[in-house]
Amino acid sequence: MDFAPTPEQDAVRDAIARICTRFDDAYWHARDHDGRFPNELHQALATDGWLGICMPERFGGAGLGITEAAIMMQAISESGAGMSGASAIHMNIFGLQPVVVFGTEAQQARMLPPLIAGRERACFAVTEPNTGLDTTQLRTRAELRGDRYVINGQKVWISTAQVAEKVLILARTTPIDQVNKRTDGLSLFYTTLDRSRVEVREIEKMGRKAVDSNQLFFDNLEVPVEDRIGEEGQGFGYILHGLNPERILIAAEAVGLGHAALRKATQYAKERRVFGRAIGQNQAIQHPLAENWMQLEAARLMILNAAWRYDQGLSCGAEANSAKYLAGEAGFNACQQAVMTHGGFGYAKEYHVERYLRESMIPRIAPVSPQLILCFIAEKVLGLPRSY
C-alpha cells in the first residue's frame, strides 16, 4: 500500500499550480464582483491540454484517470480560484465520461476533440425542479419521431448554460408506468444547445457569481438519433459513469477550497497582533485550525481511494459519496473558521475568506445532499432498511 503520489501526479499538480499563478486574488475578486465567466483560465487550461485530462489520447486528451483529475481540481481550487475556477471547467472533466465509456468511435471523434480544445463548452442537464434527487422520476420527455427525438421539459441548477454550446441531457423515452424497473426508460443525449428551442434563465445566487446557474425550458428541441449515447432506455446506468466522478471531483474542489481558506487564516494568525502577541500563539486560534487540517487531509485520502477504485474499474459508489460528504463538511468548517480567525476583517471582501465561505456551501449541497448520502451509506453499506 503506497500513499505517495507518483512523479506523474506531482507533475500534474505542479503544472496546474503554475497556470493558476496567472490568476491571483485580484482576478477572482473581480470575477466575484462582475460575474464574468473566467474564459482566461478556461483557455489557459485548454491550451495546455488539461481539459482532456481523462479523455483518450487519440482524441487529443491526456489519457489519465479520475485520480489525476481530482489532483488537478484540488490544485485549481486551492490556488484561490475556489469554486469559481473549478466549476468553470469540471463539467468538461467528468461530464462526458459516459461518451468515453459508452459512445461509439464516431461519436467520440465528433464530440470529444472540440471539448478538449476548448472550442466548445458543455453543460450537464439532469436535475429537474419537481423531482429533486429522485432521478427515476424525471419528467422531461424525448419522443422519437423518424430520425430525431423531440425533447420537452424543464431542468434546473444547470451550470454554465449561459456560455455552453452543448448539453448532456437525461430524458425519459419510455413512460415510467411502462417499464419493469424505475431506472429503465431513461436515455442520454449529447447535443447542441439550440437556444431557439431552449430558454436559459439564470438564477441569482449566493456565491460563485462567475459561473452561472440556470433553469432550462425545452420546447420541441430536435435531437438527431446519432446524438443519443448508447442504447435507448439505458441512460440511467450510463449517467452513473458521470455521477461518481462528479462526486469525486467536487470533493477535491472542496478540499482545495478548505486549504485555500486555511492558508489565509494561518497567515493572518501569524501576522495579527493583539495584546502584544500574534493571535496564532493562542490555543483558541491554533486548535480549530489544526483540526481543520486533519479533517481536510482525511477527506483527501477518501477522495484518492474513491478515484483509485473508479480508475481500476471497481465499484466506488460508497467511497465517492463518502468523499463528497467528508470533503464538503471539512471544506465548510475550514472556510467558516478562516472567517472567524480574521474576526471582523473576515467579513470584508478584501480578505477573500468571506467569498470562500459563500462558495463552500456549494459542495455541501450539490450534487447530492449530505442527508441523502447518509441514507445511501446506511442502506448500501450497513444493510439498513431503505428510508426513502
> Can you read off the three cell numbers belonging to residue 281?
500563539
- Bridge partners of residue 202, in order along the sequence: 214
* pLDDT score for 366: 93
What CATH architecture applies to the domain 122-234? Answer: Beta Barrel (2.40)
Which homologous superfamily does the CATH classification assign to the domain defined by 7-116?
Acyl-CoA dehydrogenase/oxidase, N-terminal domain (1.10.540.10)
Tell me the C-alpha distance between 115 and 51, whole Å.
7
> Can you read off the three cell numbers belonging to residue 146?
423518424
Structural contact between residues 143 and 168, judged by C-beta atoms closer than 8 angstroms? no
* pLDDT score for 241: 79
Q: How many residues does the chain have?
A: 388
> Can you read off the three cell numbers belonging to residue 216?
432550462
In order along its 388 residues, the chain shows pLDDT tens digits of 788 999 999 999 999 999 999 999 999 999 999 999 999 999 999 999 999 999 999 999 999 999 999 999 999 999 999 999 999 998 888 888 899 999 999 999 999 999 999 999 999 999 999 987 889 999 999 999 999 999 999 999 999 999 999 999 999 999 999 999 999 999 999 999 999 999 999 999 999 999 999 999 999 999 999 999 999 999 999 998 788 999 999 999 999 999 999 999 999 999 999 999 999 999 999 999 999 999 999 999 999 999 999 999 999 999 999 999 999 999 999 999 999 999 999 999 999 999 999 999 999 999 999 999 999 999 999 999 999 8
Query: SS3 for 376?
Result: helix
Q: β-pairing, 148-159 with 141-145?
A: antiparallel
The set of long-range contacts for 350-355, using a CB threshold of 8 Å and a minimum separation of 24, is 350/29, 351/264, 351/268, 352/25, 352/28, 352/29, 352/80, 352/264, 353/261, 353/264, 353/265, 355/28, 355/29, 355/32, 355/82, 355/207
Spell out the residues 6+ positions from residue 218 whose beta carbon is closer than 8 angstroms to its own: 140, 151, 152, 153, 154, 155, 197, 198
Q: How far, in whole angstroms, is CA 294 from its chain's centroid?
A: 23
Structural contact between residues 267 and 111, judged by C-beta atoms closer than 8 angstroms? no
Query: SS3 for 48?
Result: coil
Domains of the chain by residue range: 7-116, 122-234, 237-380
* pLDDT score for 180: 93
Which homologous superfamily does the CATH classification assign to the domain defined by 237-380?
Butyryl-CoA Dehydrogenase, subunit A, domain 3 (1.20.140.10)
> Can you read off the three cell numbers belonging to residue 144?
422519437
* pLDDT score for 388: 83
Spell out the alpha helix ranges (H) of 35-104: 39-47, 66-76, 82-86, 90-94, 97-102
* pLDDT score for 297: 98
* pLDDT score for 169: 97
* pLDDT score for 251: 98
